[in-house]
């Protein structure tokens, strides 16, 4: 199997089963990172978060080391994702002023969560008897999900006048807002203006279990 096919298979596996991230060898993680697409950015951030949480809970090192490592991983991923998705959507760098301000605010919010997370982890480590592997995986997956929403919105911001339609399975949860929006078709800028990119916390369901997405006029899935 050639390297291109192998890397594509690895990316697909990581997306389908995030639990394999901690099991990847350093060389496999490096290969994902070097490929530079969103899946690679996401996988790298998830792996770094997993390691920071797991190593802190199972070690005796200073909390600032692990907190800083996680904050750095998130910062790099948010900046890289905003740029990559905006361009993929059709925009040109640098980000427009409104998108740049939005991306900065999203990153700042995530960094604030990191501070609180490690305060909680400090207490867990004091108590002992914590399932470090499960805790690390849950945090890695949770932050990856938030990065997915950043990607979807940055992608939509870059698309500007592209026509997009709200579609998808009702899945685990479908609120009155989701039901109301099914089949709605608007320009990408409209979805941004109204904060209605699927997965947004503006929806009654909060977007956490939402399986809806935007598709283009060719029936191709646009957002995650």
Same domain, 112 and 54: yes
Question: Which residue's entry shows tokens 């350093």?
Answer: 26
Average pLDDT of span 23-35: 67
Is residue 90 a part of any domain in this protein? Answer: yes
**Does 202 lie in the same domain as 127?**
no
Q: Which of residues 112, 140, 158 is at a domain's end?
A: 158
Indicate the DSSP class of residue 166: E
Claim to verify: residue 142 and residue 69 sit in the same structural domain: yes
Contacts of 212 (CB under 8 A, 6+ apart): 166, 167, 168, 169, 170, 171, 174, 178, 181, 182, 198, 199
Q: What are phi and psi of 184, to 5 degrees?
A: -70, 135
**Domain contains 13:** no
Task: Please indicate, yes or no, whether residues 52 and 86 belong to a single structural domain of this protein.
Answer: yes
**The tokens of 7 are what?**
């890397």
* Interval 140-159 mean pLDDT: 95
CA distance 33 to 39: 9
Alpha carbon distance 150, 85 (integer Å): 9
What is the C-alpha separation between 189 and 164, in angstroms, rounded?
A: 10
Say if residue 101 is in the same domain as residue 206.
no
Q: Which of 158, 176, 198 is the last residue of a domain?
A: 158
pLDDT digits (tens, 9 = 90+) for 121-147: 999 999 888 999 999 999 999 999 999
- The answer to whether the peptide bond before residue 94 is cis (omega within 30 degrees of 0) is yes
* Residue 21: inside a domain: no
Q: Are both 49 and 99 inside the same structural domain?
A: yes
Average pLDDT estimate for 167-184: 83
- Residue 93: DSSP 8-state: S
| Co-location of 196 and 88 in the same domain | no
Domain assignment present for residue 60? The answer is yes
Residue 15 confidence (pLDDT) above 70: no
The answer as to whether 104 is a domain residue is yes
39-85 tens-digit pLDDT: 889 988 998 999 999 999 999 899 999 999 999 999 999 999 999 99
Alpha carbon distances (Å) from 79 to 60, 84, 95: 31, 9, 11
Distance CA 78, CA 151 (A): 9
Query: Based on the structure, what is the number of domains in the chain?
Result: 2
Q: How confident is the model at residue 30 (pLDDT cuts 50, 70, 90)?
A: low
> Residue 212 pLDDT more than 60?
yes
Query: Rounded mean pLDDT of 90-113?
Result: 96
Position 99 pLDDT exceeds 90 = yes
> Same domain for 103 and 144?
yes
Percent of the chain with pLDDT over 90: 64
User: Between these two residues, 68 and 17, which has the higher pLDDT value?
Assistant: 68
Are 78 and 169 within one domain? no
53 and 97 belong to one structural domain: yes
Angle among Cα 198, 150, 32 to the nearest 5 degrees reads 120
How much is the pLDDT for 82?
Answer: 96
Q: Does a structural domain hold residue 12?
A: no
Is residue 1 pLDDT above 60, yes or no? no
CB-based contact 53:119 (threshold 8 Å)? no
Range of the domain at 201: 161-215
Please check whether residues 193 and 90 belong to one and the same domain: no
**High-pLDDT (> 70) share of the chain, %:** 84
Q: Are residues 144 and 167 in the same domain?
A: no
d(CA 213, CA 211): 7
- Residue 43: both structure tokens together: 């996988």
Q: Which of 138, 158, 178 is the last residue of a domain?
A: 158
């Amino acid at each position: 199997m050639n390297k291109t096919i192998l890397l594509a298979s690895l990316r697909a596996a990581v997306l389908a089963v995030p639990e394999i991230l901690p099991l990847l060898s350093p060389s496999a993680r490096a290969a994902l990172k070097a490929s530079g697409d969103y899946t690679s950015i996401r996988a790298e951030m998830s792996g770094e978060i997993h390691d920071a949480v797991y190593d802190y809970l199972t070690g005796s090192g200073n909390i600032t080391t692990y907190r800083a490592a996680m904050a750095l991983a998130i910062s790099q991923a948010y900046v890289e994702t905003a740029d990559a998705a905006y361009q993929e959507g059709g925009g040109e760098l640098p980000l427009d002023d409104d998108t740049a301000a939005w991306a900065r605010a999203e990153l700042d919010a995530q960094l604030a969560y990191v501070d609180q997370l490690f305060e909680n982890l400090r207490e867990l480590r004091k108590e002992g008897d914590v399932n470090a592997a499960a805790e690390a995986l849950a945090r890695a997956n949770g932050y990856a999900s938030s990065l997915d929403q950043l990607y979807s919105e940055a992608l939509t911001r870059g698309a500007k006048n592209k026509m997009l339609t709200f579609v998808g399975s009702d899945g685990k949860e479908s609120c009155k807002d989701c039901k109301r929006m099914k089949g709605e078709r608007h320009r990408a800028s409209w979805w941004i203006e109204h904060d209605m990119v699927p997965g947004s916390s503006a929806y009654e369901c909060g977007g956490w279990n939402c399986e809806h997405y935007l598709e283009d006029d060719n029936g191709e899935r646009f957002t995650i």
